[in-house]
Amino acid sequence: MSFLHTLSLFAILCLLYGCTTSPTTSAQQRDAYLQQFIGQTSQSIQAKLNLTSIGYKQVLAPIANDQTLTYTVMRPITIPVPMAQNPADIDAGNIPIPVTPRAQSYDVSLQCKIIYRLENNIAKSVYYTGRTC
């Protein structure tokens, strides 16, 4: 198996099983922050919501309609690069990579949506699409 193939497989497994490292806030902290806007108008949410404070980068302007207020965001994550730790790993087909601070991981930004459900322009709930929210 080639190194690139091994790295791709590892990245997929990390995304599926959560072996990534996240920036500064936990999922519970992000959820608590987003929940605090329930009960507010969509205009108030748009004026006050600071997605960068919880590790998100907004990629599109929010989309508001009668039923929802939708934010499309990315959350950068760092995926560790698998490293051969002993000679047996090399015999198993793994190829060691020279270790430098940049070679120990690589960064990706995964997209998701944060959606506030609205009734009469008031947020009633919030939910997320995408695995990185």
pLDDT 10s digits, 61-100? 999 999 999 999 987 766 666 655 555 555 555 555 555 5
Higher pLDDT, 107 or 26: 26
Residue 15 has pLDDT above 50, yes or no: no
Question: If you average pLDDT over every residue of the chain, what do you get?
Answer: 75
Q: Which residues contact 6 (CB under 8 A, 6 or more apart)?
A: 82, 93, 94
In the chain, what percentage of residues exceed pLDDT 70? 55
This prediction has a pTM of 0.62
